[in-house]
Amino acid sequence: IFEWYYNNNLITGASVSTYEATKSGTYRVKVTNDKQCSSTDQISINFFAAPEVSDFQNSVINACKGETVDLKT
């Protein structure tokens, strides 16, 4: 039996050996075998927002074959 927790709250329906984390926080799993012996482990995960790139904003650059174009953000 697998029980997954997010920030110490049981995740409803998360009862298999894998869980796809989608938010930052502390995830814990409790595994119980058929003899009712159990073990737990946990991990803290931090998701960071991707940096914004706004310099290009649907720009079009025309260049002839063989020319170079410097792209900077």
Residue 46 CA to residue 54 CA, distance in Å, equals 25
Per the CB < 8 A criterion, the answer to whether 25 and 6 are in contact is: yes
pLDDT digits (tens, 9 = 90+) for 14-68: 999 999 999 999 999 999 999 999 999 999 999 998 877 666 666 788 888 888 8
**For residue 43, which phi and psi values (nearest 5 degrees)?**
-145, 145
Q: In this predicted model, what pLDDT tens digit does every residue of 18-29 receive, in sequence order?
A: 999 999 999 999
pTM score, two decimals? Answer: 0.68
